């Protein structure tokens, strides 16, 4: 995955460059990645980077004219056009779409520069004039920086495995991190799955100088929480103005833009307000092997109404025949934060890259604007977790269930970077991933949303209707269409919501105690024509049929090893019951497959 890695040593250490080379090589997952390295011996710095071809960070290392400022960067930034114009008026030279303008912006702004950055990024900046080194990341912590400190040096990298590669003594699980993982499917706060490895908090600005590190933050969400709430009309007007202002930033690209299009409201707003660009974007929607979901059918209608090309990218038979490789690669690239049931992401995003290397979509719009949330305890089977470890899992679930705070802060600074990290990181391994819904101006404005607009489609429907009424007449997958009202509109919404829930239950499966009813439920869903209407990721069924041999064989190996986390004697019965349809254990199976692969790929098989 694109990223940065490095070592900041308190004393000269010539071997550090060799170690950084190994760290960078560990993060080089694709042939289309570019890599590089840099050393500043006078500051004890050895660092490297990985970037995709023709991406925002591909032209690094970024230096100013005097070469006394050096920036190593991962991710993208989206600043107002006037910011770049101002820099050019002052004589700075840089490309129009790359990241080389950033070092000139720092030269002009000094340390005010960090708070002006807008995007998802992590970076290392060396200021030789002040003899300072800055390690920093985006406000939300979406571009992760894993770190470990020894008596002599500070190690950091965008992927935990890069640290594990050169610090093999860290190759063991952190019990508290695993407790988080069992409770929520992710680790929370600065905790990771790995003992001795932590995460840099979002909005960090860590300053290294003369062997000391000042751990500061350039941003806190408290600055946004103190804003006044607007009334409904003022908020909707301001949101429409802001959204149209910031959206062109995300369409600026040397490569053709790929629109990851769904039938939902968030991509519909993007389509309604889409700026005119050349070449025109290409649209695509992910779907299953055979049936075409309502999502794909409606997305095709939206693309057609906008005069854009649309593709349905499907899961093929090779996904199942090579599933073990897809699962291992997903778990390896994501450091275990996306498991076996996320293997489709790397498969589908590779298909998307064949169309265009830039993916723009509506990710996180629901979380930021409508309080959509998947951040909740998983409640694994009672017999699955070892009794002596169960208290740690329960304590974690209780602790974070009662500590959400402000709704937008909880979404932008906790749920998205902690709990929804896996999918974007896999996407970024293949594509340049963009979403306007984490733009600083959009998130800041979300804090001013009045109560009556929360959890409501009203805002999105108005934006679509005001900017492209024809798109407003195409219903969403939840049945919303323009300003339609009355009995028929209400009936359509009820129908869509009910079928969505029923299809969800068919795909995800009934609770284990009701699993014997699955055949009857499947028959009813098929007769009503709702099977596969909304969902195409059928891991519950796949683990029983297409992937049953993979699950059975892999889990058999896990049963032979005593685990400190799960009850190994329960695994055999769990797998048999799931495959036979006597239980629904998708999450439990995924947990074992994922953590077992982490232990194998990142602890035992990673080179030393």
Is residue 487 over pLDDT 60?
A: no
Rounded distance between C-alpha atoms, residue 388 and residue 397, angstroms = 16
The rounded radius of gyration (Å) of the Cα atoms in the chain is: 24
- Cα separation values, 132 from 43, 104, 206, 366, Å: 8, 17, 10, 40
Three-state secondary structure string covering 99-141? CCHHHHHHHHHHHHHHHHCCEEEEEEEEECCCCEEEEEECCCC
CA 197 to each of CA 4, 328, 584: distance values in angstroms, whole numbers, following the listed order: 16, 22, 34
CB 417 within 8 A of CB 202: yes
Asked whether residue 483 carries a pLDDT value surpassing 80, the answer given is no
For residue 260, list its beta bridge partners. Answer: 284, 361
pLDDT at 274 over 60: yes
pLDDT at 109: 94
Rounded mean pLDDT, 562-583: 91
d(CA 404, CA 415) in angstroms, rounded, equals 9
| pLDDT tens digits for range 381-392 | 989 999 999 998
CA 524 – CA 512 distance, rounded (Å): 19
What is the rounded average pLDDT of the residues 291-297? 88
Spatial strand order in the sheet of 358-361 = 310-314, 282-287, 257-260, 358-361, 432-434
Pairing of strands 358-361, 432-434: parallel
Q: Tell me the CB-side half-sphere exposure of residue 131, using CA atoms within 13 A.
A: 5
Rounded Cα gap, residues 575 and 582, in angstroms: 10
In the numeric block, which tokens belong to residue 53?
């071809």
Above pLDDT 90, what percent of the chain? 73
Q: What is the pLDDT of residue 608?
A: 83
What are the CB-based long-range contacts (under 8 Å, 24+) for 113-117?
114/205, 114/218, 114/219, 115/218, 115/219, 116/79, 116/83, 117/77, 117/79
Give me the half-sphere count of Cα atoms (radius 13 Å) on the Cβ side of residue 117.
33
Do you know the residue count of the chain? 608
Work out the pLDDT band at 516, boundaries 50, 70, 90: low
Burial of 50 (0-12, 13-18, 19+ CB in 10 A): buried
Question: What pLDDT band is residue 402 in, cutting at 50, 70 and 90?
Answer: low
Any residues with CB less than 8 A from the CB of 600 and at least 6 apart, and which? none
Q: Give, in degrees to the nearest 5, the angle at Cα 24 between 608 and 115.
A: 130
Condensed to tens digits (0 to 9), the pLDDT of residues 139-173 reads 999 999 999 999 999 999 999 999 999 999 999 99
The end-to-end CA distance of the chain, in Å, is 20
- Which range has the worst mean pLDDT, 85-94, 278-287, 335-344? 85-94
Find the largest Cα–Cα distance for the chain: 75
Looking at residue 475, its pLDDT comes to 87
Q: Please report, for residues 4, 314, 602, the alpha-carbon distance to residue 21 in angstroms, rounded to integers and kept in the order given.
A: 11, 37, 18
CA 330 to chain centre: 13
Q: Residue 562's pLDDT band (boundaries 50, 70, 90)?
A: confident
Q: What share of the chain is helix, strand, coil (3-state, %, to 5)?
A: 50, 15, 35
Spatial contact of 147 and 154, defined as CB atoms under 8 Å apart: yes
CB of 380 within 8 A of CB of 180?
no
Judge residue 169's burial from the number of C-beta atoms within 10 Å of its C-beta, 0-12 exposed, 13-18 middle, 19 or more buried.
Answer: exposed
Whether 482 shows a pLDDT value over 60: the answer reads no
pLDDT of residue 12: 66
Residues 253 and 97 sit within 8 Å (Cβ to Cβ): yes
The upper half-sphere exposure of residue 505, i.e. CA atoms within 13 Å in the direction of its Cβ, equals 21
Specify the pLDDT at position 351.
97
Residue 278 has which token pair? 């050349």
Question: So what's the pLDDT on residue 134?
Answer: 98
Q: Are residues 349 and 430 in contact, defined by beta-carbon separation less than 8 angstroms?
A: yes
Residues whose CB falls within 8 Å of the CB of residue 309, separated by 6 or more in sequence, listed in order: 280, 282, 283, 303
pLDDT at 431 over 90: yes
Q: For 575, phi and psi rounded to 5 degrees?
A: -65, -45
Q: What would the pLDDT profile of 440-478 be if each residue is shown by its tens digit?
A: 999 999 999 999 999 889 999 999 999 999 998 998 877
Query: What tens digit of pLDDT does each residue of 5-37 get?
Result: 999 997 666 779 999 999 999 999 999 999 999
**What's the CA gap between 313 and 319, in Å, rounded?**
13
As a whole number, mean pLDDT of residues 483-509 equals 59
> Can you give the pLDDT at residue 400?
76
What is the spatial distance between Cα 136 and Cα 161, in angstroms, rounded to a whole number?
20
Whole-structure pTM value? 0.93
Residue range 127-136: mean pLDDT, rounded: 96
Question: How large is the average pLDDT for residues 406-428?
Answer: 94
β-pair type (257-260, 282-287): parallel
């Amino acid at each position: 995955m694109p990223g940065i890695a490095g070592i900041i040593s308190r004393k000269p250490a010539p071997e550090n460059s060799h170690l950084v080379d190994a760290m960078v090589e560990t993060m080089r997952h694709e042939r289309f990645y570019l890599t590089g390295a840099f050393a500043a011996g006078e500051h004890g710095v050895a660092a490297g980077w990985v970037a995709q071809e023709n991406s925002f960070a591909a032209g690094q290392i970024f230096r100013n004219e005097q070469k006394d400022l050096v920036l190593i960067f991962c991710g993208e930034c989206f600043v107002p056009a006037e910011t770049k114009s101002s820099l050019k008026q002052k004589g700075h030279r840089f490309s129009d779409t790359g990241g080389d303008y950033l070092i000139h912006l720092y030269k002009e702004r000094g340390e005010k520069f960090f708070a002006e950055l807008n995007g998802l990024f992590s970076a290392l900046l060396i200021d030789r004039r002040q003899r300072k080194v800055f390690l920093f990341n985006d406000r939300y912590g979406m571009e992760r920086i894993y770190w470990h400190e020894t008596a002599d040096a500070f190690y950091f990298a965008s992927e935990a495995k890069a640290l594990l590669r050169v610090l093999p003594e860290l190759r063991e699980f952190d019990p508290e991190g695993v407790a988080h993982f069992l409770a929520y499917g992710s680790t929370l706060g600065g905790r990771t799955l790995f003992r001795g490895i932590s995460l840099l908090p979002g909005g960090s600005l860590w300053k290294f100088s003369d062997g000391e590190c000042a751990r500061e933050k350039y941003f806190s969400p408290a600055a946004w929480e103190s804003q006044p709430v607007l009334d409904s009309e003022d908020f909707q007007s301001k949101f429409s103005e802001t959204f149209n202002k910031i959206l062109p930033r995300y369409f600026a690209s040397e490569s053709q833009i790929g629109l990851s299009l769904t039938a939902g409201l968030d991509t519909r707003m993007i389509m309604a307000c889409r700026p005119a660009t050349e070449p025109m974007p290409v649209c695509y929607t992910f779907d299953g092997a055979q049936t075409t979901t309502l999502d794909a059918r409606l997305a095709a209608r939206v693309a057609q109404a906008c005069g854009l090309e649309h593709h349905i990218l499907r899961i093929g038979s090779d996904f199942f025949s090579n599933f073990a490789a897809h699962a291992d690669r997903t778990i390896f690239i994501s450091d275990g934060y996306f498991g076996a049931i996320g293997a489709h992401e790397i498969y589908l995003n590779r298909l998307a890259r064949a169309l265009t290397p830039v993916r723009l979509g509506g990710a996180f719009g629901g979380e930021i604007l409508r309080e959509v949330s998947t951040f909740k305890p998983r409640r694994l089977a009672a017999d699955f977790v070892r009794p002596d470890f169960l208290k740690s899992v329960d304590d974690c679930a209780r602790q974070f269930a009662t500590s959400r705070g402000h709704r937008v802060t909880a979404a932008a600074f906790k749920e998205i970077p902690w709990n929804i990290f896996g999918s974007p990181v896999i996407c970024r391994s293949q594509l340049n991933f963009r979403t306007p819904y984490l733009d600083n101006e959009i998130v800041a404005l979300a804090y001013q949303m009045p109560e009556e607009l929360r959890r409501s489609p009203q805002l999105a429907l108005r934006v679509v209707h005001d900017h492209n009424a024809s798109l407003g007449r195409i219903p969403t997958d939840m049945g919303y269409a323009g300003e339609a009202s009355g009995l028929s509109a209400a009936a359509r919404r009820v129908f869509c919501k009910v079928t969505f829930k029923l299809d969800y239950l068919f795909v995800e499966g009934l609770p284990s105690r009701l699993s014997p009813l699955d055949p009857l439920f499947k028959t009813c869903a098929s007769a009503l024509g709702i099977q596969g209407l909304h969902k195409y990721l059928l891991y519950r069924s796949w683990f029983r049929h297409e992937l049953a041999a993979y699950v059975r064989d892999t889990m058999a190996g896990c049963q032979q090893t005593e685990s400190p986390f799960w009850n190994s004697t329960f695994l055999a019965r769990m797998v048999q019951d799931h495959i036979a349809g006597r239980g629904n254990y998708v999450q439990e199976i995924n947990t074992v497959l994922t953590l077992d692969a982490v232990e194998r790929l990142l602890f035992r098989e990673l080179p030393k």
